[in-house]
């Protein structure tokens, strides 16, 4: 009797509790990570081998939770924890706590319930566009008011976070779809070698999506001992990768060998791709693989960066100089009898050299220097004590701004140094006997987008050989080298150059009017030709393309202050504008009388009415055309016509 009574009491008790007051627990977590599922398709990670959840930062993904009972938003609580690295910390962004919200906002770690189906809920989770990349572990925590303590459940599977060239807020953002297909998603390519007159090519198997490759690439990052908080910054990541691909100082992936004797290893010419190399390195626990030369270092670099989500390509430079003394010239020394001075001739010109371009904004540099960045993993010279090189802005290389980091002088010299011949006189002093200005940096080549053709990108690295702009770049650069007096410097610097914007600056939709002011501080006349170039720029500082080039002859009377109007017609830039349109104006020239170099860069925004979805009354016809959730999409297409 007593037993029966107890039973009935407990039964009636549990019946009197409403369902939502029962303890809540997580039965299972489904990361919805199947290879062809929505998450991986939307994140462009469906090519990677296996069924892990591989996502890109700054973009939402879905997960499903199976709970012990239906979730009650009024009383139950839920949050997610993502942890990466050995010592996850909230202050270092290596431990993120994701709370439930009603509406997701860009650039935040947040989650929202998007579907309820009995005991199952589906969450849409947003990540930050500057998130640390790598492997994360997920924990789900739920709490119910009377259900007692929180329960957590770990799906025992890693989530892999990658860079996101599809996300505008990620610094590796690249807008052209075909370029992303090539520079992130293509897993084969071409490498160029030989001499400029006989360019050879070979197919290289990057293989970044094959089984074990993502793990191997993440292993390289891990081995680099770059602390996890640093793994959110692509500038940092590519610099570290350039050091890790060669074995010097850090037991990196590949040992270089140029001796011709490759016993005990694989001859550098025998490799046909990166897969075997990276897998071997991973499998053997970080033992350098033997042997590599420049194209192997470059091919492996392309694989690792594409795998991590940074747009990247291998690039070959023919007649590539190796400047050992940071003079920014390639120097050949001869004695009195014109015999080469072997011990001094440490600079050399390689028939070809292969390095990498990787794509990113450079928030650490002045605007205009984003876009392609040169990166060289072949161990040639140390940079801050380590064998690594770059990233150096290709724009900075072209304009000779070698003081912009990283290692710009070295790459500048590879493509654009003059070859200077020195002879020792009887008194022991060397004098310059000849200067070859076109000896270095030819036919810079990379595989074309969407075809197997060779694409010549020399113009990205240097102005037309022999043009005044190219000479100005060389002389600008050499001033920052160890032999600043190689070029007879100008006799006087008495002309100044400045750009002024009218009023609040040019307005979108109209011709842009600029005032160029030149001042003659001397008592003689001064003449020059100004080279004017305007390029469209993303707000990230990445140049999109040149929209106008112009030349303007200028003659200054003594002491004259000359203000010249220069107009950029609307039609020349209207089709080219990108988000938060900005333009970069570059002026350069040389004063005929004094050889003084003039150069200045100005970036300016085109004024638009400040727009925010809530505040700006929309034209009524627009209101009826779009609803709020679609406005964002239509906004770009509408802007030109409605708001300018
Ligand atoms: C290149 O490989 C050969 C043969 O294994 C070896 O004797 C030589 O020391 C290597 N050179 C370098 C620089 O590692
Ligand atoms: C590349 O080399 C490996 C062996 O080293 C070989 O199995 C593979 O078939 C080669 N691939 C191509 C495309 O030649
Ligand atoms: C890679 O590029 C080559 C040549 O453009 C093309 O044939 C191939 O289909 C591309 N591969 C992928 C996966 O896009
Ligand atoms: C608003 O746009 C969204 C997305 O296109 C669509 O799903 C929804 O049905 C639209 N709502 C209305 C009221 O038109």
What burial class does residue 110 get, using C-beta atoms within 10 Å of its C-beta: 0-12 exposed, 13-18 middle, 19+ buried? buried
Q: Is ligand 1 within 6 A of the CB of residue 521?
A: no
Cβ neighbour number for residue 275 with a 10 Å cutoff: 21
SS (H, E, C) 127-185: CCCCCCCEEEEEEEEEECCCCCCCEEECCCCEEEEECCCCCCCCCCCCCCHHHHHHHHH
Q: Quick one: 424 and 319 in the same domain?
A: yes
What burial class does residue 528 get, using C-beta atoms within 10 Å of its C-beta: 0-12 exposed, 13-18 middle, 19+ buried? buried
Domain end among 103, 129, 162? 162
565 falls within a domain:
yes
The residue segments making up the domain with residue 93 are: 20-162
Give the distance (Å) from ligand 4 centre to CA of residue 628.
Answer: 8
Name the DSSP letter for residue 112: E
Cβ neighbour number for residue 254 with a 10 Å cutoff: 31
Report pLDDT for 557: 82
Q: Do you find a cis peptide bond into 597, omega within 30 degrees of 0?
A: no
Q: Is ligand 1 within 6 A of the CB of residue 503?
A: no
Report pLDDT for 342: 59
Q: Do you find a cis peptide bond into 406, omega within 30 degrees of 0?
A: yes
333: CATH = 3.90.260.10
What is the number of structural domains in the chain? 3
Cβ neighbour number for residue 487 with a 10 Å cutoff: 19
Q: Is ligand 3 within 6 A of the CB of residue 181?
A: yes
Cβ neighbour number for residue 401 with a 10 Å cutoff: 23
103: CATH = 2.60.40.10
How far is residue 494's CA from residue 561's CA, in Å, rounded to a whole number?
12
325 falls within a domain:
yes
What burial class does residue 150 get, using C-beta atoms within 10 Å of its C-beta: 0-12 exposed, 13-18 middle, 19+ buried? middle
Give the distance (Å) from ligand 2 centre to CA of residue 445.
Answer: 24
64 bridge partner residues: 30, 122
- Ligand 2 pocket mutation pick from 272, 278, 279 by most atoms within 8 angstroms of CB: 272
Whether 508 and 608 have beta carbons less than 8 Å apart is answered as yes
Query: What are the Cα distances from residue 284, in Å, to 210, 216, 219?
Result: 18, 11, 11
Q: Quick one: 61 and 141 in the same domain?
A: yes
Give the distance (Å) from ligand 2 centre to CA of residue 359.
Answer: 29
Q: What is the pTM of this model?
A: 0.77
Nearest ligand to residue 632 Cα? 4
Whether 406 and 417 have beta carbons less than 8 Å apart is answered as no
Q: Quick one: 464 and 584 in the same domain?
A: no
Q: Quick one: 199 and 152 in the same domain?
A: no
296 falls within a domain:
yes
Q: Quick one: 459 and 523 in the same domain?
A: no
| E strand spans, 268-370 | 289-292, 312-322, 329-334, 348-360
Q: Quick one: 473 and 550 in the same domain?
A: no
Domain end among 478, 509, 528? 478
Q: Quick one: 202 and 82 in the same domain?
A: no
Give the distance (Å) from ligand 3 centre to CA of residue 454.
Answer: 14
Q: Quick one: 564 and 438 in the same domain?
A: no
458-517 pLDDT, tens per residue?
999 988 877 888 878 777 777 766 665 656 555 567 888 888 877 667 777 788 888 888
Nearest CA to ligand 2 atom 3: 272
Report pLDDT for 610: 45
The catalytic residues are: 294, 353, 376
170 falls within a domain:
no
430 falls within a domain:
yes
107-137 pLDDT, tens per residue?
899 999 999 999 999 999 999 999 999 999 9
Q: Is 418 annotated to bind ligand?
A: yes
Q: Quick one: 339 and 459 in the same domain?
A: yes
Domain end among 446, 478, 510? 478
Report pLDDT for 348: 62
The alpha carbons of the chain give a radius of gyration, in whole angstroms, of 30
Q: Is 465 annotated to bind ligand?
A: yes
Whether 404 and 365 have beta carbons less than 8 Å apart is answered as yes
Q: Quick one: 136 and 103 in the same domain?
A: yes
Q: Quick one: 132 and 213 in the same domain?
A: no
Q: Is 251 annotated to bind ligand?
A: no
Which residues in the chain show pLDDT less than 50? 1-17, 610-644
How far is residue 633's CA from residue 484's CA, in Å, rounded to a whole number?
53
Query: What are the Cα distances from residue 125, in Å, to 287, 421, 549?
Result: 39, 63, 46
Q: Quick one: 350 and 401 in the same domain?
A: yes
Q: Is ligand 3 within 6 A of the CB of residue 148?
A: no
621 falls within a domain:
no
The CA angle 262-264-265, to the nearest 5 degrees, is 60
Report pLDDT for 406: 87
Report pLDDT for 287: 92
Helix H or strand E encompassing 471: helix 468-478
643 falls within a domain:
no
Report pLDDT for 413: 83
How far is residue 216's CA from residue 284's CA, in Å, rounded to a whole number?
11
Whether 160 and 35 have beta carbons less than 8 Å apart is answered as no
557 falls within a domain:
yes
């Amino acid at each position: 009797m007593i037993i029966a009574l107890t039973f009935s009491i407990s039964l009636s008790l549990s019946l009197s509790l409403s369902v939502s007051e029962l303890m809540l627990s997580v039965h299972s977590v489904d990361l919805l990570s199947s290879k062809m599922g929505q998450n991986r398709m939307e994140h462009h990670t469906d090519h990677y081998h296996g069924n892990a959840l591989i996502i890109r930062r700054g973009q939402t993904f879905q997960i499903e939770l199976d709970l012990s009972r239906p979730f009650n938003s009024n009383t139950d609580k839920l949050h997610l924890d993502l942890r990466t690295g050995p010592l996850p910390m909230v202050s270092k962004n290596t431990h993120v706590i994701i709370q439930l919200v009603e509406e997701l906002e860009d650039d935040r770690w947040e989650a929202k319930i998007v579907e309820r189906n009995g005991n199952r809920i589906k969450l849409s989770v947003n990540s930050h566009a500057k998130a640390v990349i790598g492997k994360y572990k997920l924990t789900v925590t739920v709490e119910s008011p009377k259900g007692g303590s929180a329960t957590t459940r770990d799906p025992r599977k890693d989530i892999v976070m990658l860079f996101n060239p599809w996300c505008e807020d990620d610094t590796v953002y690249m807008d052209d779809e075909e370029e992303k297909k090539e520079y992130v998603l293509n897993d084969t390519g071409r490498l160029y070698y030989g001499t400029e007159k006989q360019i050879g090519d070979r197919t290289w198997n990057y293989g970044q999506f094959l089984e074990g490759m993502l793990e191997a690439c993440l292993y390289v990052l891990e081995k680099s001992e770059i602390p996890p908080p640093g793994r959110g910054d692509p500038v940092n990541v590519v610099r570290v990768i350039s050091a890790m691909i060669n074995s010097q100082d850090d037991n990196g992936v590949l040992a270089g060998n140029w001796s011709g004797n490759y016993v005990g290893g694989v001859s550098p010419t025998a490799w046909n791709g990166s897969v075997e190399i990276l897998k071997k390195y991973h499998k053997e626990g970080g033992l350098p693989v033997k042997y590599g030369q420049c194209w192997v270092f470059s091919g492996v670099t392309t694989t690792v960066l594409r795998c991590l989500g940074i747009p990247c390509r291998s690039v070959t430079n023919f007649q590539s100089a190796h400047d050992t003394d940071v003079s920014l010239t390639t120097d050949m020394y001869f004695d009195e009898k014109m015999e080469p001075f072997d011990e001094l001739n440490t600079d050399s010109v390689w028939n070809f050299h292969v390095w990498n371009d990787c794509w990113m904004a450079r928030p650490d540099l002045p605007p205009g220097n984003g876009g392609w960045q040169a990166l060289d993993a072949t161990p040639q010279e140390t940079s801050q004590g380590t064998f690594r090189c770059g990233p150096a802005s290709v724009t900075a290389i072209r304009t000779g701004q070698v003081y912009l980091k990283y290692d710009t002088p070295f790459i500048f010299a590879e493509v654009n140094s003059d070859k200077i011949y020195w002879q020792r006189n009887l008194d022991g002093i060397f004098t310059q006997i000849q200067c070859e200005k076109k000896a270095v940096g030819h036919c810079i080549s990379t595989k074309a987008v969407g075809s197997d053709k060779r694409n010549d990108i020399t113009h990205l690295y240097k102005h037309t050989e022999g043009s005044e702009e190219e000479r100005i770049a060389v002389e600008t650069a050499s001033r920052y080298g160890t032999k600043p007096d190689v070029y007879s410097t100008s006799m006087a610097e008495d002309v100044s150059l400045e750009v002024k914007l009218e009023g609040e600056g040019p307005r979108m939709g109209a011709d842009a009017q600029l005032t160029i002011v030149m001042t003659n501080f001397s008592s003689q006349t001064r003449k020059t030709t100004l080279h004017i170039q305007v390029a469209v720029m993303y707000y990230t500082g990445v140049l999109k393309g040149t929209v106008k080039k112009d030349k303007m002859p200028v003659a200054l009377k003594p002491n004259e202050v000359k203000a010249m109007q220069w107009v950029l017609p609307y039609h020349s830039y209207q089709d080219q504008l990108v988000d938060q349109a900005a333009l970069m104006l570059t002026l350069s020239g040389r004063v005929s009388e004094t050889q003084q170099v003039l150069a200045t860069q100005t970036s300016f925004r085109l004024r638009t009415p400040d727009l925010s979805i809530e505040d700006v009354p929309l034209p009524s016809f627009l209101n009826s055309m779009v609803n709020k959730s679609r406005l964002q999409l239509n906004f770009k297409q509408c802007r030109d016509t409605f708001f300018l």
